[in-house]
Amino acid sequence: MRLVLVGPPGAGKGTQAQFIASNLSIPKISTGDIFRANVSGGTELGKLAKEYMDRGDLVPDEVTIAMVRDRLSEDDARDGFLLDGFPRNVPQAEILKKMLAEFGVALDVVLELVVDEDEVVRRLAGRRTCGRCGRIWHVDFDDKKDDICDACGGSLYQRDDDKEETVRRRLEVYQEQTAPLVSFYAEEKILVGVDAAGPVEEVTRRAMEALAPHVG
């Protein structure tokens, strides 16, 4: 199966990508993993990307796309893959479609993790990070009523990225830039939506059920 996973920040994409890819016996390919592999491996693309990152600039689309092309041409992705974090917008989706056509294949399905905005805010804004060991706790899910890490006794704090106003801004950016992908893939008739609320195992079960008709 050739699959793309989409959804807003806080939808649980990273976690679900791992479980779904494992269940389908296909590699999980995330742009973060690709970047790290190229940079740590000292590839030409990695060196180029590092120049941009060291300056604090966004890595241009053409560099990201070249890395994705290289990764998708590897042997383990020949019979299927799960893409997480690419494409991020409609132009990238169109490039991916052409790229796969050159390989003689096409996407089977795009799985959208659907979650209410207020639920995303609750998930992300409720996180507290330990300043000593780095462990993350949640005010609701872990019933944390104090600001002390139960693992090491360190003090907990709320990262700037997890503050409500920042989370809502990230959701706005998602709606502006990435949500049009949903319409694009709906028109391609390969979009499947899954309710991403509830326990991780339950969301994975729903996802696998939704994907079952598309498994070759």
Give the model's confidence band at 216: pLDDT under 50 very low, under 70 low, under 90 confident, else very high: low
Task: Report H helices in 145-199.
Answer: 164-177, 180-187
Q: Identify whether 170 is a catalytic site residue.
A: yes
Q: Partners of 3 in the beta sheet?
A: 82, 109
Compute the average pLDDT of residues 204-208: 96
Give the model's confidence band at 35: pLDDT under 50 very low, under 70 low, under 90 confident, else very high: confident
Sketch out the chain's domains with CATH numbers.
Answer: 2-26+79-214 (3.40.50.300)
Q: Identify whether 122 is a catalytic site residue.
A: no
Q: Which entry of 88, 122, 135, 168 is annotated as an active-site residue?
A: 88
Q: Which residue has the higher pLDDT, 195 or 216?
A: 195
Global pTM exceeds 0.85? yes
Q: Tens of pLDDT along 90-130?
A: 999 999 999 999 999 999 999 999 999 999 999 999 999 99
What's the CA gap between 205 and 45, in Å, rounded? Answer: 37
Describe the chain by its helix, strand, coil percentages, rounded to 5: 50, 15, 35
- The CB-side HSE value for 31 (13 A sphere, CA atoms) comes to 18
160: nearest Cα among 136, 124, 134: 124
Q: Identify whether 28 is a catalytic site residue.
A: no
Q: Residue 14: CB partners within 8 Å, gap ≥ 6?
A: 30, 84
pLDDT score of 215 more than 90: no
Q: Which entry of 13, 28, 71, 123 is annotated as an active-site residue?
A: 13
Q: Identify whether 97 is a catalytic site residue.
A: no
% of the chain beyond a pLDDT of 90? 79
pLDDT score of 155 more than 90: yes
Looking only at Cα atoms, what is the longest distance across the chain? 56
Q: Residue 34: CB partners within 8 Å, gap ≥ 6?
A: 67, 68, 71
Q: Identify whether 123 is a catalytic site residue.
A: no
